[in-house]
């Protein structure tokens, strides 16, 4: 039996909605399925506006455009994240400033945040790693006091909560990813969530190539024209149809992921303690989004052997982010090896186990016994 790291899930209605989209004979963006997805996201999360985009990366780029980031502005990002968290703002000429992460949740360490703020700091971008909320009370407090905006990169945290409040509702904006590897997907896609309503109109313009076409479609202007800078960030309604099939089933997806996560956590706890392996930490005030299951091995050497040993049994376990601050590009922005010691350490030791909502009990048992056979 081969067990992949991730497998595309089909919940059942995706093909039906795609057929309906085809029958509408319009596949461009902002059609019926896009509007259904917008309404569902707004209702489920309580955000002012949700706009589907071509990717989470593009939603982050939109946030950079909406905040008018300028060359020389500084944007604080965790070093332990996907490149887009930093790159989307570097594209505006802003300089990413890399923050280390907490050793327990691997989220941006709010205790180290204030020391990184200068008079050039415009933005903080927390990432809710693995779908566990960052310490948003402290982050929002620092941001408000220092007059800095917050954009949540919530690619992992859809349907997670921090102190009872949905992740993605704290920042001026937040972004979602519907990439195939995320909890809810349409292959490639994303969303910009807008919590501050006065940005909504400009967001529509930037998303529609700098035109007021969205207002035109709603009959609010009688022709549409070029009014601002912008780009092409609208998702095709064909993908939105697929996405709608998944979003509607979010409770089923989350319940299945929760069961798989809890099984991994319980069934590996004795082995992990005996082997000096750390399991994920979820603070009591965080209702997590069950995006992944990871382990922190005692050393890089143990992780390398672990991944190899599982692979020999057909099981695909994978490591995760390489630190951004010490990457080729990160060093051009002033990042230095040693500057984010926790990120450097966990990046070497973290391994993600196969985790997808269509994983069967037999598949998970196979993974569990293979893991428990491993000796650090």
Ligand X SMILES: *Cc1c(COP(=O)(O)O)cnc(C)c1O
Whichever of 240 and 268 has its CB closer to ligand X, that residue is 240
Give the span between the Cα atoms of 57 and 125, in whole angstroms: 13
Q: Tell which residue, 230, 257, 275, 240, has the closest CA to residue 375.
A: 275
Residue 161: exposure state from Cβ atoms within 10 A (0-12, 13-18, ≥19): middle
Shortest CB 189 distance to ligand X, Å? 7
Whichever of 181 and 309 has its CB closer to ligand X, that residue is 181
Whichever of 151 and 268 has its CB closer to ligand X, that residue is 151
Token couple for 146: 């220092």
Shortest CB 183 distance to ligand X, Å? 11
Shortest CB 175 distance to ligand X, Å? 7
Q: Using alpha carbons, list the distances in angstroms from residue 370 to 309, 320, 338.
A: 8, 20, 34
182 is catalytic: yes
Please write down the HEC assignment for all residues of 234-251.
CCCHHHHHHHHHHHCCHH
Indicate which residue of 36, 112, 182, 332 is catalytic: 182
Whichever of 261 and 321 has its CB closer to ligand X, that residue is 321
Binding residues for ligand X, rule: CB under 6 A, are 55-57, 81-82, 84-85, 127, 153, 155-156, 177, 179, 190
Give the span between the Cα atoms of 34 and 62, in whole angstroms: 18
Give the span between the Cα atoms of 130 and 107, in whole angstroms: 9
Shortest CB 57 distance to ligand X, Å? 3
Helices (H) and strands (E) in the chain, counts: 14, 12
Residues that are catalytic: 182
């Amino acid at each position: 039996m081969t067990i992949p790291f991730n497998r595309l899930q089909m919940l059942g209605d995706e093909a039906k909605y795609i057929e309906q989209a085809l029958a509408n004979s319009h596949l461009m963006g902002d059609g019926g399925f896009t509007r259904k997805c917008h309404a569902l996201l707004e209702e489920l999360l309580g955000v002012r506006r949700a706009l589907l985009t071509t990717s989470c990366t593009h939603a982050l780029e939109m946030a950079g455009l909406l905040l008018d980031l300028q060359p020389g502005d500084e944007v604080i990002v965790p070093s332990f994240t996907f490149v887009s968290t930093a790159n989307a703002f570097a594209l505006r000429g802003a300089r990413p400033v890399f923050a280390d992460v907490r050793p327990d949740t691997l989220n941006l360490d709010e205790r180290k945040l204030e020391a990184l703020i200068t008079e050039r700091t415009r933005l903080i971008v927390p990432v809710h790693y693995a779908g566990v909320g960052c310490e948003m009370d402290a982050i929002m407090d620092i941001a408000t006091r220092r007059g800095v905006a917050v954009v949540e990169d919530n690619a992992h945290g859809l349907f997670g909560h921090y102190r009872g409040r949905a992740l993605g509702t704290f920042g001026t904006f937040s972004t979602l990813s519907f990439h195939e590897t995320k909890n809810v997907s349409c292959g490639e896609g994303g969303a910009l969530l807008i919590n501050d309503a006065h940005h909504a109109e400009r967001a529509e313009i930037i998303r529609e190539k700098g035109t007021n076409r969205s207002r035109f479609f709603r009959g609010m202007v009688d022709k549409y024209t070029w009014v601002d800078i912008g780009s092409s960030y609208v998702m095709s309604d064909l993908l939105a149809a697929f996405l709608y099939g998944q979003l509607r089933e979010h409770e089923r997806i989350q319940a299945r992921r929760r069961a798989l996560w809890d099984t991994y956590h319980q069934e590996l706890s004795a082995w992990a303690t005996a082997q000096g392996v750390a399991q994920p930490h979820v603070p009591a005030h965080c209702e997590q989004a069950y995006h992944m299951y990871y382990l922190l091995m005692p050393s890089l050497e143990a992780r390398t052997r672990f991944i190899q040993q599982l692979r020999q049994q057909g099981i695909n376990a994978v490591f995760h982010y390489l630190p951004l601050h010490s990457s080729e590009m990160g060093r051009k922005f002033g990042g230095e090896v040693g500057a984010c010691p926790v990120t450097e350490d966990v990046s070497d030791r973290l391994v993600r186990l196969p985790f997808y909502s269509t994983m069967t009990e037999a598949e998970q048992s196979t993974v569990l016994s293979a893991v428990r056979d491993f000796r650090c």
